[in-house]
Amino acid sequence: MVISNDSLIFDPSLADKVNSFNTCPNSKIVWKPSPVGFLKLNVDGAVSKNGLGCGVGGILRNNNGECLLSFSEQIGQGPLILAELQAMKIGLLIFLKSRWCYNHRLILESDSKIAVEWVLNVTLCSSLFACVVHEIADLIHMNCIVV
């Protein structure tokens, strides 16, 4: 089943009709540590089944895989892409206020291909999310963050 990204923005329940577990039953995603001198921030956004609650979270790890900090919080309501973008923004702001931002570069990772594409090329983003995408892109560029 093919669902356009714009359709998901207005009706995220369309994604519930797709069973993604049948597409790659043997695939494994393995976390890889960052190179020396870098930290890695993995972020994620989530939306409840009824769409009435969104949450974000993330974890910052060093090149040995040790957890330096983590965060999670509820952010209200909205589509999944907004939760993914807010996870990026909140995670970046937390890192930039931390003691580690002065002596480490950052690698930002997200499982949202759309969010990553949008912050790397803001011309691709939906106008509904342009403000937050531009904020994230500015943080990335001003602080030499790798996505």
Alpha-carbon distance values, 9 to 30, 45, 97, 111 (Å):
29, 14, 31, 17
pTM for the predicted model, two decimal places: 0.80
Please determine, for residue 19, whether its predicted confidence score (pLDDT) is greater than 50: no
Q: Of 67, 45, 69, 47, which is closest to residue 56 (Cα–Cα)?
A: 45
Please determine, for residue 3, whether its predicted confidence score (pLDDT) is greater than 60: no
Please determine, for residue 94, whether its predicted confidence score (pLDDT) is greater than 90: yes
Phi and psi at 84, nearest 5°, equal -60, -45
Please determine, for residue 16, whether its predicted confidence score (pLDDT) is greater than 80: no
pLDDT digits (tens, 9 = 90+) for 24-44: 556 677 888 899 999 999 999
